Amino acid sequence: MRPVIFPYKMGSRSARALSRLMKDLRCKQIKPDGRYKYWNNHLIINWGNSLLPRWHERRVKYVNHPDSVSVASHKLLCLQKLYEESIPIPSFTTNQEEAKIWLADGGVIYARTYLRGSGGRGISVLDNNSSFIRAPLYTLNIHSRGEYRVHVFNNNIIDYQKKRRDSTALDNNNVDERIRNHNNGWIFCRDNLKHIEENEDIAKKAIQALGLTFGAVDIIRGEDKHSYVLEVNTAPGLEGTTLDIYHNKLREYVNEYRNY
């Protein structure tokens, strides 16, 4: 079985790194509209691509089908699907009037102007002192005891991280601390973490509900001591230990197919 990586963009550093690590298996990267021809001994590892490629056909074997990735990567569709499957998520709405009521009641909301944005792109935090922003999606803030990223592969937890403020990050008065992304100095750590069973449970359920084989599930632990899924990443950034973990799991998966 030959692994073939189908990335959301050819410049993806994580996809390139995985391809290099599996070079001995003749792994390569392909485009959705290129000259690639699918063979029965190929296994398509979809790294965050939501497009059905030109070479798609029913017999293609995907690790993360593009249709599933399309739902997972669309913020509104993902929340709707998780809600349908009774997986705990933040309150959300597409109705501007409802969002204004949340603000009037003293709530803090996140307005998303991009439904397929990543890394905090297109997010504005609104409160009673903010000018209202028209957006296709609003989510109500959950008072947090911490944010986590739980990596799931084939219904197993393969990595568990917590988001923390990077001690080396420079203070920036223009940064909204309520947006906890890498650009604002937040990173994922795994040292000295106590695993919360509810985080792991809902992470596996989220991946299953979306029809995915793998994904990184972002979870917020509320002050009510309950966990809520924020989003699911189908092309998480990989480096160091996390890169090694994904490489080993994908290699095992390819070998299982080879021996099937």
- What are the residue boundaries of the structural domains of the chain, listed by start? 2-70+241-259, 74-89+143-233, 91-141
Lowest mean pLDDT among 73-87, 107-121, 165-179: 165-179
How sure is the predictor about 128, in pLDDT bands with cuts at 50, 70 and 90? confident
Q: So what's the pLDDT on residue 180? A: 57
Q: Apex CA 105: angle with CA 172 and CA 198, to 5°? A: 70
What does pTM read for this prediction? 0.90
Extract long-range pairs of 159-165: CB within 8 Å, 24+ residues apart: 159/190, 159/241, 159/242, 159/245, 160/190, 160/193, 160/195, 160/199, 160/200, 161/188, 161/189, 161/190, 161/193, 161/242, 162/188, 162/189, 162/190, 162/193, 163/187, 163/188, 163/189, 164/188, 164/189
Domain 74-89+143-233, CATH number (from 3.40.630.30, 3.90.550.10, 3.30.470.20, 3.40.50.300): 3.30.470.20
Q: Which residue has the higher pLDDT, 178 or 87?
A: 87
185 falls in which pLDDT band (50, 70, 90)? low
Task: Say what the pLDDT of residue 87 is.
Answer: 98
Mean local confidence (pLDDT), 119-136:
89
Give the integer Cα–Cα distance in Å for 246 and 79: 25
pLDDT digits (tens, 9 = 90+) for 7-59: 999 999 999 999 999 999 999 999 998 889 999 999 999 999 999 999 999 89
Average pLDDT, stretch 255-260?
Answer: 72
Q: Which of the two residues, 178 and 156, has the higher pLDDT score?
A: 156
Across residues 221-248, what is the average pLDDT?
A: 95
**pLDDT: which is higher, 202 or 1:** 202
Q: Are 250 and 30 in contact (CB under 8 A)?
A: no
Token pair 């963009």 in the structure block, residue: 9
Q: What is the arithmetic mean of pLDDT over 152-161?
A: 96
Question: How would residue 159 be classed by pLDDT, with cut points 50, 70 and 90?
Answer: very high
Can you give the pLDDT at residue 174?
A: 54
pLDDT > 70? residue 260: no
Evaluate if residue 189 carries a pLDDT over 90: no
3-class SS at 141?
coil
Nearest to 193 by CA among 163, 231, 167, 173: 163
